[in-house]
Amino acid sequence: MISKYLYINTIGCQMNVYDSEQIAIRLAPLGYQQTSSLEMADLVILNTCTIRAKAEQKAFSFLGRLAILKKKKPGLIVGVGGCVAQQQGAKMLERVPHLDLVFGTRTLDRLPALVQRIENKRCRIVDVSMSEIPDLSDTAPGEGNENQVSRFVTIMRGCDNFCTYCVVPYVRGRETSRHPDSIIEEIRGLVRNGVKEITLLGQNVNSYGKKEGLCSFPELLSRVETIEGLMRIRFTTSHPKDFDEDLIKAFESSEKLCNHIHLPVQSGSNRMLKRMNRKYTRELYLDKVTQLRDTCSEIAITSDMIVGFPGETDADFNDTLDLMRKVEFDGLFAFMYSDRPNAPATQFKGKISKQQKSERLQILLELQESFTKEKNQALVGSVQPILAEGFSKRQSSGSFDNQHQAAQWTGRTSSNKIVNFYQNDNPGSCDDILPGKLVYVKIEKAYSHSLWGMPVEIESAAEGVKGEKCYAA
């Protein structure tokens, strides 16, 4: 088979990262090998996100730049998938004349056939139909790429929550859960290929299986826990309204579930939460945080926050800052509200000016930075179990510090903090660090977004490594 090159540009969330992996897996039988060089590509796939206006602008700007490449290389096939494709469908062909293929969020299983038709007939195709049973047909068997330590596994698709600012239920369809057997099979396949950590993905994992009468999410976690060779389990995202006691208990009982939860709150104001249709109050959210911390004192909590939702007053914004002070998040993804086509909030009165949104965002980010720094600083002197993922970006780019003539590695703590560390030649040393090894690293420096340390011990791929081991700070 002739080798052809596939370039994938993924914009947006982890769900899209997973879908892009699935795209690569599905196109491999047609002879497509992934490349990081756009110039070499025979097929370019853009996997889009519409959650924020900026992500959509990024998509169209990338597509615009491809016009020159297509002129130089007329045989190039350009395809666009994901939420923007789902939402705009055929309109995209009008807007982007050099586009060959538009495919939706639930058509991954048909993608190879669509690409083949374009290869053979040089036609333009739009397929954004929503499959009724998307899940069981749209997940290829899990085969890990070599040397990948950590992978995503989608356990459900779509969403039934209809938050007023969000278009996910419209572009990704209603919530459907995969059968646990198919999830377990996929993870086993990944683990056989060297994967040590998996992140279970869903828009709201807490409601996993409820509609279909499958097992509950905590029950699924228990099944995943039994997979031999798997070291760490993460999941995202949780909806606070469905976040229940059984899941909180899993943080205590599970050996493999990491000490981190991403629990999006979006606002600290009850008035705004109601307008957003989030179906919980700040009191309920704070109560869940307390329960979590009472159960697992080490847990790191991160969240999402929207600033400048229509109608947000200074008092509402102050409620958000107050909630942040009460929780002291480990990290926060904060965004200025932007209208998304077809989302109910686009019709809401009381739009906030860009300047005010930007000022509020600045205040919020500064407050968060103080918490993040403090939390990172508190780890200095401790020894943290880090799952080595590979060389750090600085090392890969050849720009690492000459003073340290050793490889610079990167990995994460159980609490999901990035730690960079050097392989050293100290006695009892860690000169056999490999991706997937658990390395005990003494944290020496804390930065805003990462930590730095020196390894003190390596443990071979042990079972059930959540990572706690007692070392003096």
Kindly list the residues in this chain that would bind ligand SF4 in the complex (CB under 6 A): 159, 161-163, 166, 168-169, 203-204, 239
Smallest gap from Cβ 168 to ligand SF4, in A, equals 4
Nearer to ligand SF4, 159 or 257 (CB): 159
Beta bridge mates, 233: 198, 257
Angle between helices 314-327 and 282-295 (to 10 degrees): 10
* Sign, Cα dihedral of 216, 221, 226, 229: positive
Smallest gap from Cβ 338 to ligand SF4, in A, equals 14
Count CA atoms within 13 Å of residue 11 on its CB side.
25
Nearer to ligand SF4, 18 or 421 (CB): 18
Smallest gap from Cβ 276 to ligand SF4, in A, equals 8
Smallest gap from Cβ 202 to ligand SF4, in A, equals 9
Calculate the CA 309 to chain-centre distance: 23
* Sign, Cα dihedral of 446, 449, 455, 458: positive
Q: Which of 111, 118, 106, 140 is nearest to 42 (CA)?
A: 118
Nearer to ligand SF4, 204 or 384 (CB): 204
Nearer to ligand SF4, 12 or 79 (CB): 12
Nearer to ligand SF4, 176 or 254 (CB): 176
Tokens of 59: 């998509």
CA distances, 222 to each of 74, 149, 218, 239, 253 (Å): 51, 21, 6, 20, 9
Nearer to ligand SF4, 172 or 188 (CB): 172
Smallest gap from Cβ 164 to ligand SF4, in A, equals 9
For the chain, report the end-to-end CA distance as a whole number of angstroms.
Answer: 57
Beta bridge mates, 129: none
CA distances, 163 to each of 243, 331, 392 (Å): 17, 22, 37
Look-up of token digits 């629990």: 263
The string of DSSP codes covering 399-425 is ---TTS-SPEEEEE-TT--EEEEE---
Smallest gap from Cβ 277 to ligand SF4, in A, equals 8
Smallest gap from Cβ 84 to ligand SF4, in A, equals 15
Report whether 236 contacts 270 (CB < 8 A).
no
Smallest gap from Cβ 234 to ligand SF4, in A, equals 18
Phi/psi zone of residue 174: left (φ > 0), alpha (ψ -120 to 50 degrees), beta?
A: beta
Smallest gap from Cβ 174 to ligand SF4, in A, equals 10
The string of DSSP codes covering 432-473 is T--TT-EEEEEEEEE-SS-EEEEEEEEE-S-SS---------
Tokens of 219: 């029950």
Nearer to ligand SF4, 58 or 340 (CB): 340
Nearer to ligand SF4, 162 or 348 (CB): 162
Nearer to ligand SF4, 168 or 336 (CB): 168
Q: What is the C-alpha separation between 261 and 415, in angstroms, rounded?
A: 8
Nearer to ligand SF4, 179 or 241 (CB): 241
Smallest gap from Cβ 218 to ligand SF4, in A, equals 19
